[in-house]
Structure 1
Amino acid sequence: MGDLNLWPSDQNHSLVTSKFHDPLGKALTPFTYKANRYGNPRNARIDFIMGNEQAVVTNLDTIHTYASDHYPVIANVALDFSTFSMMHYTINHGANAAGAYNLSAIENEIRNSGADIISLNQVDINFSSRSDYDDQIDLLATRLGMKRSFHATLDKEPDAGSNGKRRKFGQAFLSKFPIESIDDGTQLRWIYTAGATTSTPQGLFGAVININGARTRFYVTSLSTDSISRLQQAYEAKERIAADPLPVKMLSGNLSDIPGSIPLNILQPVFSDAFAGMGSLAFNYPSGTPAKTINYILYSGMLQMQQASVRTSQASTHRPIVTTIKLQ
């Protein structure tokens, strides 16, 4: 809020309102400037109060007093610290639908979604030339200004291109909210025993994210494309998550199976599906012309799903999915 010295019709107003909501939009009134006692016309709205999704500004108006050459601006503000948005994205180590590596496209998709918490599958750290030996989670977190936490499901010796660094592949969280430290025992890293000896073992990664004081457990996982291993992994995930004492939990990931399949039914007593009943509107794979749902955001506890959507991006072989959630 303040005297921004710009009109609502200016380009700079559009830049500001890309991040903050102006309840009056492009309206030039009520005038806020040249409200002085010498008879000059009130001819500009250059004083503003704006809010983001956690601070909804309404009923903005001016108070007609000549104590300054600006009118004071007053508004109602409704603070909401219980609503957040979450994205799950299987990023295919940064390769798009055409097979070209472009991590910046993944970054832009996350940024443009506005999501507060992002779970990621298929993330590379110094892995190989397929991803330019990038530390993808470090690059994404730095560029997006988010906290991060990573779980390696595959950890390999350095090679000639990794500059002595271990080569890792796995899953991760990005968050605008604090991710509680691994040292306090609130994070869980698990490699499934089913399929553990294959070239691409799968795992379950849990972290506590503090959403404005509400400690909430988030899990991300990827299940095997092999049907037998996938079934056993679903049982392992259910057992470990059911033992979690925190009452509010979310599970997201590439579960490699469709709604109503046995692995999804195994998880169903613990979780509900944020995209339940959406049918083909929830299709998210492959990204070019989605034909099925294999990426999910599931929830348990005092959570209310307010909106769920699939973004039409081909920056990966999977489309990202986004939900808006309210903590009850």
Structure 2
Amino acid sequence: MSFFRAAGAVTMAAVLAFTPVSASAHPAALRVLNYNIHTGIGADGKLDLARTARAILGTGADVVGLEEVDQHFSARSGYADQAAELAARTGMHVFFAPIYDLPPEQGHHDRRRYGVAVLSRFPFLRTENHQLTRLSTVDPNPVPAPAPGFAEAEVRVRGERLHVYATHLDYRPDPAIRRIQVAETVRVLDHDGARAKQLLLGDFNATPAAPELAPLLRRVRDAGPPDPTYPAEAPTAKIDFVTTSGGFRVRDAEVPVTHASDHRPVLAALSVR
């Protein structure tokens, strides 16, 4: 979720338009994408997960962090298992890390889950769903409490073991919860050790200059361009990130132009040292 709001409609031509980093220009690059998919609902307000999958495939990404992913959650996403469907449509492995795990709606049998996910062309060696302090958006009287939804997936790329994280920080204008989440995120990253190769992907719901992000952006390197990512139709704020730690070189990076979500994705072509 984001405290920003998008509005208006776009044409199908605009929905399908994007300008990915050239795969031929960097044949050995690891292509890393972060994308808040808005549960498959585009900037035009229409649910179309096939369009989301096309946007991901069009970037040629090898590893993807996803936010706002539904699993049998509600009518807004057709009660689909979006993580499994995107894995099938992209031909990638998937690890889904729910934030919420709720009983089925009346008349349905599957539990309702919502969270983040990692897609990868490389098999997972290990996965974990870490906790962060959150203010629930489904509890009418929320209080700060630990909750899951901070995904970690380990993969092996060209002989190197990489830790891939996907996260979604608090969306509220008050930075208090994000400040706590940043401290907790740094502690989780530090647990891997100073020499670990890490990719932290996510919707941070704050711009790079936000004071509450400072400890995190000292711990990791922003590998994305300065271009804004939100709202998708006419972005004004960079709140979506691909960040690295532990020995990556950024070859190229961009924000592909697509309206398959209310956010635009962030793509970075990286060398693994």
TM-score of the two chains, using structure 2 as the length reference: 0.83
| Pair 1:267–1:317, CA change in 2 (3 A) | same
Letter of the structure 1 residue corresponding to residue 176 of structure 2: I
**2:149 is equivalent to residue 239 of structure 1:** no
SS at match of 1:130: helix
Quick check: 197-206 or 316-325, which moved more? 197-206
| 1:87 counterpart residue number | 33
Q: Following the alignment from structure 2 to structure 1, what is the Cα–Cα distance between the partners of residues 70 and 158?
A: 30
Letter of the structure 2 residue corresponding to residue 208 of structure 1: E
Structure scoring higher RCO (CA < 8 A, sep ≥ 6) equals 2
**2:248 is equivalent to residue 303 of structure 1:** yes
**2:136 is equivalent to residue 193 of structure 1:** no
Matches within 5 A, 1:309-320: 309-320=254-265
The answer to whether the 8 A contact 1:133-1:161 is kept is no
Q: Following the alignment from structure 1 to structure 2, what is the Cα–Cα distance between the partners of residues 259 and 55?
A: 27
| 1:266 counterpart residue number | 215
| 1:289 counterpart residue number | 234
Q: Following the alignment from structure 1 to structure 2, what is the Cα–Cα distance between the partners of residues 269 and 283?
A: 20
The answer to whether the 8 A contact 2:129-2:148 is kept is no
Letter of the structure 1 residue corresponding to residue 209 of structure 2: G
| 1:30 counterpart residue number | none
**2:209 is equivalent to residue 249 of structure 1:** no
The answer to whether the 8 A contact 2:97-2:148 is kept is no
Matches within 5 A, 1:126-275: 126-162=72-108, 164-181=109-126, 187-195=127-135, 197-199=136-138, 203-226=149-172, 227-245=175-193, 247-275=196-224
**What's the CA shift for 1:241?**
1.0
TM-score of the two chains, using structure 1 as the length reference: 0.70
Letter of the structure 1 residue corresponding to residue 199 of structure 2: M
2:49 pairs, out of 99, 103, 109, with 103
- 1:30-72: CA deviation from partner (whole Å, max 9, x where unpaired): xxxxxxxxxxxxxxxxxxxxxx86996xxxxxxxxxxxxxxxx
Matched-pair identity in %: 29
**Alignment root-mean-square deviation, CA:** 2.1
| Pair 1:288–1:173, CA change in 2 (3 A) | same
**2:271 is equivalent to residue 326 of structure 1:** yes
| 1:122 counterpart residue number | 68
Q: Following the alignment from structure 1 to structure 2, what is the Cα–Cα distance between the partners of residues 92 and 202?
A: 19
**What's the CA shift for 1:270?**
1.3
Matches within 5 A, 1:18-57: none
The answer to whether the 8 A contact 1:120-1:172 is kept is yes
The answer to whether the 8 A contact 1:194-1:232 is kept is no
**What's the CA shift for 1:202?**
6.7
| Pair 1:152–1:132, CA change in 2 (3 A) | same
Q: Following the alignment from structure 1 to structure 2, what is the Cα–Cα distance between the partners of residues 160 and 110?
A: 33
SS at match of 2:179: helix
- 1:251-297: CA deviation from partner (whole Å, max 9, x where unpaired): 0100000012123211022101113xx44xx1000001000100001
The answer to whether the 8 A contact 1:191-1:204 is kept is yes
The answer to whether the 8 A contact 2:116-2:151 is kept is yes
**What's the CA shift for 1:161?**
5.0
| Pair 1:294–1:54, CA change in 2 (3 A) | closer
Letter of the structure 2 residue corresponding to residue 231 of structure 1: R
| Pair 1:53–1:236, CA change in 2 (3 A) | same
- Deviating beyond 6 angstroms after TM superposition, the runs of 4 or more aligned structure 1 residues are none
Larger Rg: 1
Q: Following the alignment from structure 1 to structure 2, what is the Cα–Cα distance between the partners of residues 199 and 228?
A: 19
